[in-house]
Structure 1
Amino acid sequence: MSKLVHLLGFVTLNVFLLPFLCKSFSPETPTDRRVLVLLDDLAIQSSHSLFFKSLQSRGFDLDFKLAYDPKISLQRYGQYLYDALILFSPTIEGFGGSIDQAAILDFVDSGHDLIIGADANASDLIREIATECGVDFDEDSNALVIDHTSYAVSDTEGDHTLIASDDFINSNVILGSKKIEAPVLFQGIGHTINPTSSLVLKVLSASPSAYSANPKSKLSSPPSLTGSAISLVSIVQARNNARVLISGSLSIFSNRFFRSGVQKAGSAIKHEKSGNEQFLTELSKWVFHERGHLKAVNVRHHKVGEADEPAVYRINDDLEYSIDIYEWSGTSWEPYVADDVQLQFYMMSPYVLKTLSTDQKGHYFTSFKVPDVYGVFQFKVEYNRLGYTSLSLSKQIPVRPFRHNEYERFIPAAYPYYGAAFSMMAGFFVFTAIYLYNK
């Protein structure tokens, strides 16, 4: 009996504490807060402390674990314990606890965010996870990105694997509005993305003179990865708005690269500090939804002159549609202002396509006449813009024809037919009278 009481008390306590343990993604405060950091070595916590402190200073709760810890888990009782995952364990061959490749991909598929830091020693496991996210690392496990024209100048002549790159994606949403003046130091492996995919983007690219090869051996054949096709750092925004950052260098996050001065080969300008800290701080704000996250509220439609939403429209009705769109600024929801939000009135194909007007305060609206076609339509807003979470809204509404007692008594378009009928009747009457009374 006492064991049963203890068991019931334990279950009750866990059920009570579960909401506090699982601070999941909330539509009201979309920023990730609890982050699991998996490391190859706890020394990385010190060698990359500036990056971690930048996250903690913005309110993130980082939970550092060794990647092979047998007790680690992403979820408990079917609820996720973390909002985001950072993998700074490039050499790991197998995770501990209940974490594996499938668990990490399920974590992303459930709408959570992921950062992957790889290097020249990246294991097959890390490479496979990156491949599932849409990028392919160089198949040569000994290959590094080499650039003999855009390398970082140093006191000792090296193998030009330390690259100074300033080929950033052109997006203020992703990298912030402040220009990154200094090049970013990068040393690691390159990868490619599918150019036809709109979900994967290069945020830091190699220069046209770069190539991927083993710096310790002579080239016996042309390298498989060359030029600007090589991505150094890429991002993914999945269809469920989960965000992933994939870097071919773990050192890019390190204190040494954050603090190092940098001078790009061929440039006379020597920067006292590299652009790594600014680049990764701004990029992490995007990955963790501190920027570029949209939500739509107050979706309304009704007939012109009315306030209530009807259950059905009639053909040729005049209607109004409105929606409010807000953007998360990192601390609060602010009105989102744009001129490219469109509405479709859709049945198999768009019968009406309207660009919504805006009052510059986040309120979007339009009006139009229901098509002269009856059936089941949808109000659809599909909004996709670089760097922003996608909005996909739809609501069905039936459209009916006129009832038999709703047609006009006399249709103006039919006046010629009315005239023809009455003139025929009058002519028949005249003809009959003449025929009957004519001797």
Structure 2
Amino acid sequence: MWAKCTGDSVLVILEPKLQKDSFSKFFSGLEEKGYELTFRSPKDVKPAVIEYDEAKFSHVILFAPESKSFAQDVTPQSLVTLLSKHTNLLIALSPRQTPFTSLAAEFSLTLPPPGTPLISHFPTRNEPATVIPVSVAPSDILSPGLSPVWFSGVPFAYQNNPLLVPILNAPAESFASDSESDLGADALVDATDKGGEGLWAGSQLGLVAGFQALGGARATWVGGVELFSDEFFQKDLPGGGKPGNEQFASDVAAWTFQESLALRIDRVEHHRVNETVPGQTYTTNDQVVFTAYISRFNPVKSTWEPYSGIEDLQLEFTMLDPHIRTALPPVRGAPGKYSVTFRAPDRHGVFKFIIDYKRKGLTHLHSSTVVPLVPPRHDGYPRFLSAAWPYYVGAISTSVGFLLFSALWLAGDDRASAKKSTKTE
């Protein structure tokens, strides 16, 4: 049994006309990992997704691609609320217009007009043009060496959002058409001119995409629910061989439910060089050591393990704007430990040690530690500065000259008085 770092309760909202047995392999695969699946239809009220302003499930699978009416607790607004409560979402779409079609735009995904499924005539096959074998590009989310997967559904265009995580893109020769009985190149020409919408075609279109929320929750959008079906799991590829749908679906669910690529910062430490106790305050120009300990979740062993695989981690020492931005490299021989030594800037104020690491597919790492940076005390300044020796010499020579002048002037006055008294006698 695999353990989960965010919980094992899963609510599956299944459209009535979709048979549970049609997705038996996918659901049984989740149960073998230890997930507890609860099923309900879109219009059912119980079990509630949110009750007393608290999420009742750790994950929600929404396999209702054509339903247009849902219970009050399953609305676009409630799903957004679920993400803020750290509940992960797996949502399947379809070419039909539904309430969740507009919700996709909130996740920076633009869908084509309703009724425009993805179509491709390559490679040659006996299946309809809307049932497409799609090659899988290498990704940290997916298992290496996956075979092409069968897909049928709607594509979407990516907007410019760093939180989006593309997982599966459309084939280069595919396009979205408003007719499932596509007759050839004429449909392509019509698509370029119709309504001024342009051509929905090529590998820039997405079929499966993830969204990594700032709070840590994940949402995955899939253009067609058939990708998870037993039929597509077992359908032979045009050139022969088993498709990669089963492993692909398992990998997508593992990422969505935060089994894979889940990181966390266990703790951070900071102190002066040659010290071990964290400083309550630091003085300008102090040599400061900052250390972070990072771990990665291993679902097989049910543990968080030290992780030293981040090569581009950075630390910022900031007051409003970063005064210092430096690499925070892993320490050799110390798994999970990242450390750097730097000189505090010659600027006093309230500073922060900040780690803000965002990479596609990985859990966002954020840490902020406030420390005061003060100027030296009155007895903390050096007594003599090498750069000030010209001023020291000037001051000393002036003082010596003044003393000599005073001595000579006083001595000269005594001699004049002595001469005057001698003449008087």
TM-score between both structures, scaled by the size of structure 2: 0.87
Determine the structure 1 residue equivalent to 2:181.
Answer: 216
Gaps of 5+ in 2: 193-197, 417-425
Among 184, 188, 205, the alignment partner of 2:149 is: 184
Among 185, 207, 215, the alignment partner of 1:232 is: 207
Find out whether 1:193 has 2:158 as its counterpart.
yes
Letter in 1 for 2:307: Y
Distance 1:384 1:70 in 2: 37
Matches within 5 A, 1:105-124: 105-120=80-95, 122-124=96-98
Deviations 1:8-30 (A, max 9, x none): xxxxxxxxxxxxxxxxxxxx952
Matches within 5 A, 1:39-58: 39-41=14-16, 43-58=18-33
Letter in 2 for 1:339: E
Decide whether the 8 Å contact of 2:13 with 2:39 is kept in 1.
yes
Determine the structure 1 residue equivalent to 2:275.
Answer: 306
Distance 1:397 1:433 in 2: 56
Decide whether the 8 Å contact of 2:136 with 2:149 is kept in 1.
no
Shift of 1:230: 1.5
Among 285, 294, 309, the alignment partner of 2:254 is: 285
Shift of 1:426: 2.1
Deviations 1:378-407 (A, max 9, x none): 000111223110111011111111121222
Distance 1:70 1:386 in 2: 36
Determine the structure 2 residue equivalent to 1:77.
Answer: 52
Letter in 1 for 2:46: K
Find out whether 1:398 has 2:372 as its counterpart.
yes
Distance 1:227 1:115 in 2: 25
Shift of 1:339: 2.1
Task: Summarize the Cα distance change of 1:353–1:97 in structure 2 as closer, same or farther, 3 Å threshold.
Answer: closer
Distance 1:124 1:282 in 2: 27
Determine the structure 2 residue equivalent to 1:12.
Answer: none
Shift of 1:164: 0.8
Decide whether the 8 Å contact of 2:4 with 2:259 is kept in 1.
no
Find out whether 1:149 has 2:116 as its counterpart.
no
Deviations 1:189-210 (A, max 9, x none): 111111x211113211112211
Find out whether 1:332 has 2:303 as its counterpart.
yes
Determine the structure 2 residue equivalent to 1:21.
Answer: none
Find out whether 1:164 has 2:133 as its counterpart.
yes
Count of aligned pairs between the two proteins: 395
Determine the structure 2 residue equivalent to 1:319.
Answer: 288
Determine the structure 2 residue equivalent to 1:175.
Answer: 142
Find out whether 1:428 has 2:393 as its counterpart.
no
Decide whether the 8 Å contact of 2:4 with 2:258 is kept in 1.
no
Determine the structure 2 residue equivalent to 1:24.
Answer: none
Decide whether the 8 Å contact of 1:71 with 1:97 is kept in 2.
no
Decide whether the 8 Å contact of 2:328 with 2:339 is kept in 1.
yes
- Stretch moving more, 97-106 or 48-57: 97-106
Decide whether the 8 Å contact of 2:11 with 2:38 is kept in 1.
yes
Matches within 5 A, 1:243-258: 243-258=218-233
3-state SS of 1:428 partner: helix
Letter in 2 for 1:86: I
Shift of 1:315: 1.1
3-state SS of 1:142 partner: coil
Task: Summarize the Cα distance change of 1:43–1:385 in structure 2 as closer, same or farther, 3 Å threshold.
Answer: closer
Decide whether the 8 Å contact of 2:283 with 2:375 is kept in 1.
yes
Work out which of the two has the higher radius of gyration on C-alpha atoms and give 1 or 2.
2
Shift of 1:76: 2.0
Find out whether 1:270 has 2:232 as its counterpart.
no
Determine the structure 1 residue equivalent to 2:358.
Answer: 384
TM-score between both structures, scaled by the size of structure 1: 0.85
- Stretch moving more, 248-257 or 356-365: 356-365
Deviations 1:340-376 (A, max 9, x none): 2211111122222222232351011122221111011
Decide whether the 8 Å contact of 2:165 with 2:360 is kept in 1.
no
Task: Summarize the Cα distance change of 1:33–1:352 in structure 2 as closer, same or farther, 3 Å threshold.
Answer: same
Letter in 2 for 1:352: I
Find out whether 1:203 has 2:167 as its counterpart.
yes
Shift of 1:99: 2.7
Distance 1:167 1:374 in 2: 53
Determine the structure 1 residue equivalent to 2:420.
Answer: none
3-state SS of 1:279 partner: helix
Letter in 2 for 1:390: H
3-state SS of 2:203 partner: helix
3-state SS of 1:115 partner: strand
Distance 1:334 1:96 in 2: 41
Decide whether the 8 Å contact of 2:349 with 2:373 is kept in 1.
yes
Task: Summarize the Cα distance change of 1:70–1:349 in structure 2 as closer, same or farther, 3 Å threshold.
Answer: closer
Determine the structure 1 residue equivalent to 2:421.
Answer: none
Shift of 1:293: 0.8
Distance 1:33 1:248 in 2: 25
Identity rate, percent: 29
Determine the structure 2 residue equivalent to 1:96.
Answer: 71
3-state SS of 1:228 partner: coil
Distance 1:284 1:391 in 2: 21
Task: Summarize the Cα distance change of 1:387–1:98 in structure 2 as closer, same or farther, 3 Å threshold.
Answer: closer
Among 388, 394, 415, the alignment partner of 1:414 is: 388
Gaps of 5+ in 1: 1-27, 264-268
RMSD between aligned residues: 2.1
Deviations 1:209-249 (A, max 9, x none): 11100233663341531111221111111111211111111
- Stretch moving more, 389-398 or 98-107: 98-107
3-state SS of 2:252 partner: helix
Shift of 1:186: 0.6
